[in-house]
A and B are shown apart, each in its own frame.
Chain A
Amino acid sequence: MSEFRYVGKRRRAKEHVRFVLGRGRYVGDIHVVGMQHIAIVASPHPAARIVSIDTSAAARAPGVRYILTGEELCANTDSLLIGVDAPQVKRWPLAPGMVRYAGEWVAAVVANSRAAAEDAAELVEVQYEPQPCVVEAEAALAAGAPLVHPAHASNVLYRRKFVWGPVEQAFAQAHQQLSFRAYWGRSATVPIETFGVVAHWDAGHGILDIWASIQMPKFPDQTARALRLPGNAVRVHHDVDVGGSYGVKRGIKHTVLAGYLARRLGAPMRLIEDRLENMRGGDMQGPDRHFDVHVAFDFDGIIHGLRIRALDDVGAYAGRSPLQLGKPVGAICGPYRIPAIEYEPISVMTNKTPQEAVRGFGQSPTNFALERAMDRVARELDMDRIEIRKRNLIRRDDFPYTIPSGSTYDSGDYHAVLDKALAAARYPELLELRDRTRANGKLAGIGISTCLEPSGGNSAFEVLLNPKNETTTWMDSCLVRVDLSGAVTGVIGNSSSGQGHESLVATVLAEVLERDPEGIRVVRADSLMALPSNSPVGSRMAIMLGGAAAGAAKTIKRTLLTIAAHNLECAVEDLEYRNGDASLKGVGGKKLTWHELIEIAHRKFHKLPPGIEPGLQAKFVWEVPTGGGLPSADGRIQMYPCYAFEAHIVLIEIDPDTAKPAIHRYVCGHDCGVMINPDIVHGMTYGGIAHGIGAALYEQFAYTADGQLTSGSFMDYLIPSALEVPPLAIVDHCTPSPLTEFGQKGSGEAGYLGAPAAVANAINDALAPRGASLDTLPMTPEAIWKALR
């Protein structure tokens, strides 16, 4: 897009230099004088009554300052918030009386070093009375199942059957139907940095300072509420670099615990998870979801109706996790023209580690189910898998396109992106390669998936799934300041975990103000500095933070022009803005330069037009475009504003003896509108694909039938390395969004949304000649081997 000067151009990220120098500032690098260390005593039982806790030996251990149990903490703090209407599902950082999963926190030991705290934690003697547990979603639904929260009287947190469009009719009239069950295994984003928090009670000011590794909407508010403090007594510092998140870095229970102890003991507290703590008690495992899918279609491959039952196991407690069944409502038919849909989300609790938000917020599992459906219909009809997709994809001329569940897709050209991906994958050659590999006695398959990335993260699923919640704004903001030297600073109110927000804001400000982005600085306000943000969730920051920055910059520009018009005695319309200077239109027109205008704004009140504030700064708070609505009675709502699209094509070879898969070619066609920084978009997309390959083939939080996590380390929970992730190719396409400043859409969840489906389809294509199929993730060699026999 040549209309832009900086947007869309390759440019080094502002964040990189500090990281390559080893000068990042992560929570583990923060040192407060007098800092004490917290170690956790965790339950070995998935369900048990706590009979007694004997802390006497631990209290005598060297360096120990304090031992906190659930009883004291629960008496002095409020239960953590839950996303759906289930007031009896209470949750505190330390279990009061009952433990509900193996790894649940029971007590916290405070000592003067982490080693001393860990030593003493081993001396805390807890007596338990084990109770019956339930670890499988279907079993938790059954009558007479052990109740995870007896006070809630059911293991079901949320259940509703939505019907959008003529579903009965579609199934009655279609030529053919098919049904299948698919399972998305429990995995997560598992950042390399675990969660950590440093909390300091500043008694002089009465403020609790928090430095934490977070990516969480409303985090300061929730911390304050749980600690029974006014919001302005909690100051969350957003200038902490976050070592990866992709959704999971919530850490609210960690922060409430550390915050309580910091205030209680009058000493700064540090709590950094070790890896086992992170995996079993960090409450960051992802969706664990069974799909029952029924498809109604005609002989020509046109799909007329869809029924999806999604049973999701959120584990023992719930924060926002049940809402991960709600977000997919905004793209429930994927990129396809499917006029009638029934969707029954069921959120159920079991005695497993709680689920947290994972990249895509439930969309990637849904895409997996949809794309398995497309492949199964193609196989049933003996139709080409590309052809069936092309027949059902929404066409370019159909936009804006409203799907049965109420969301309107803004723009797209799905056929063009798919064609580009096929060309880049050299599809005919890929088919030959697959067939040659098969002829040589190996298994080989090609996987195709097309899917949507809803972006611009709104929180409409909250109002959809919880009628008591009327959250209809999910704003973000930016403050822009031009100082007396003429330097531009952007201030943002969120922490980042690798998304390049400093680069984003600098590029946007540079574009609007026509100033060199190199000189633009971006800093982070803490949570008391009045810059509302809902954090970088839901692929929203290019849209929302980018939109807020553009809005603030435009206000600055307007102010400069107003000052110029006043001083040049003309109308604003007579002026031209170029590179920060304002000049009268026409050859040789009078002009006031950037620096002259700034000088007036900061020093010369006598030259300021009436109504213009001295100093030069502007704050802009932006509401999600298309946001603000409540759902209709039948549950139709506009979920997110912008819809990016991706098409994945992958060739996988499977060793017939070991059933080990290897990926040979991977192409992703991607359209997220105008890219503000192509390197950043590509980087997140590559990373998302790698993450998706992990979810499809390797990663799983595996539990025994009696509720013990068996993959609590990187020896068992397998994260793909540079040897498993193949070279990846991305082909760009650009369909601008009509809803955003530059035509950008979101892309933070790109890659991950389509990769698991594509990989699963490739494995199934490889299994097809043997008459086998597999619909369970992860597709480990063991699972593939079993499917073959």
Chain B
Amino acid sequence: MTEKLYEISVEVNGVRCEGRVPARLSLVDWLREELRLTGTHVGCEHGVCGACSVLLDGEPVRSCLMYAVQAHGHRVGTVEGLRSPEGGLSPLQDAFCEAHGLQCGYCTPGMLIAAQALLDATPHPTEEQIREAIGGNLCRCTGYAQIVEAVLLAAERSR
């Protein structure tokens, strides 16, 4: 018994990627195991913790709740694609470092994705808007304080 494979074509971080995947393969497993983009993390695999957040056509989604085949024809953005065009840290990544917005780093890619999506839509959010935007991303290290600070700092610096 071999599983039927499906052809997919997905733009990942601006690069077109082709794949042949079984229907049941989750998007996060495809990104991590096939493309070796291991920055996107797996935390709960049932859509609660947000560690696997990626941008799908610019919107944050849970890549553990999506099948890879569902991403066919779409744009996917992962943490590896957040760098500034010059290759350095993006303003948000830099602000996370500056404000100590992370400790173990495991939830960080998902936090960055959620926060970047917020800043793209709302460049100058209030603290409440930030908490709302990262409200679906769990962190066990930080108590969220310095994450909120980091997002505020990134927004402030873009003024």
Chain A contacts for B61, CB-based, 8 A:
none
Stretch at the interface among A478-486, A589-597, A682-690: A682-690
A532 at interface (Cβ–Cβ under 8 A)? no
Contact check, B100 vs A13: say whether CB atoms are below 8 A apart: yes
**Does the CB pair B112–A680 fall under 8 Å?**
no
**What chain B residues lie within 8 Å of A76 (beta carbons)?**
none
Give B130-159 interface residues, CB cut-off 8 Å to A: 130-132, 134-148
Q: Which residues of A contact B18 (CB under 8 A)?
A: none
B143 and A15 form a contact (CB under 8 A): no
Task: Encode B34-51 as 1/0 by CB contact (under 8 A) with A.
Answer: 001111111111101101
Q: Contacts A191-B140, A714-B49: A722 and B44 contacting too (C-beta < 8 A)?
A: no
The yes or no answer to A274 lying at the interface (CB within 8 A) is: yes
B96 at the interface (CB under 8 A from A): yes
Contact with A along B90-101 (1 / 0, CB 8 A): 000100111110
Interface SS majority for chain B? loop
A715 is an interface residue with CB less than 8 A from chain B = yes
* Chain B residues whose CB sits within 8 angstroms of the CB of A12 once the complex forms: 97-98, 100
The residues of A that contact B49 with a CB separation of less than 8 Å are 192, 714, 719
Query: Do A275 and B140 have beta carbons less than 8 Å apart?
Result: no
Tell me if A497 counts as interface (CB < 8 A to partner B): yes
Q: Which residue of B lies closest to A692 (CB)?
A: B143
Q: Which residues of B contact A115 (CB under 8 A)?
A: 22, 24-25
A189 near B140 (CB under 8 angstroms)? yes
Q: Which residues of B contact A20 (CB under 8 A)?
A: 79, 89, 93, 96-97, 102, 105, 108, 112
Which chain B residues border A26 with CB–CB below 8 Å?
Answer: 38, 41, 106
Known A-B contacts A31-B36, A687-B143; the reply to A19 vs B41 at CB < 8 A is no
Interface centre among B80, B112, B143 (most CB of A within 10 A): B143
Given A189-B140, A246-B140, A723-B131, A275 and B148 contact (CB-CB distance below 8 Å): no
Known contacts: A28-B42, A192-B138, A722-B131. The answer to whether A689 contacts B143 by CB under 8 A is: yes
Size class of the B contact interface (CB-based, 8 Å) = 35 or more
Chain A min CB distance to B21 (Å): 11
Contact yes or no, B143 A715, CB < 8 A: no
Q: Contacts A62-B2, A497-B104 known; A713 to B98 CB distance under 8 Å?
A: no
Q: Are B103 and A725 in contact (CB under 8 A)?
A: no
Chain B's nearest CB lies how many Å from the CB of A60?
A: 10
Which residues of B sit under 8 angstroms from A389, Cβ to Cβ?
A: none
Where the two chains meet, the residues of B that have a C-beta atom closer than 8 Å to any C-beta of A are: 1-2, 22, 24-25, 32, 36-46, 48-49, 51, 78-80, 82-83, 89, 93, 96-100, 102-109, 112, 127, 130-132, 134-148
Which 7 pairs, one residue from A and one from B, show the smallest C-beta to C-beta distance? Answer: A22-B39, A19-B105, A498-B104, A243-B106, A498-B103, A686-B143, A690-B143
22 contacts between A and B (CB under 8 A): A16-B102, A20-B105, A21-B39, A21-B79, A21-B83, A22-B78, A22-B80, A22-B109, A26-B106, A191-B104, A192-B139, A244-B140, A244-B141, A246-B140, A275-B46, A499-B103, A686-B143, A713-B46, A714-B138, A721-B138, A722-B131, A725-B144
A residues sitting closer than 8 Å to B (CB atoms) are 12-13, 15-24, 26, 28-29, 31, 62, 115, 189-194, 241-246, 274-275, 497-500, 679-680, 682-684, 686-691, 713-715, 719, 721-723, 725, 727-728, 751
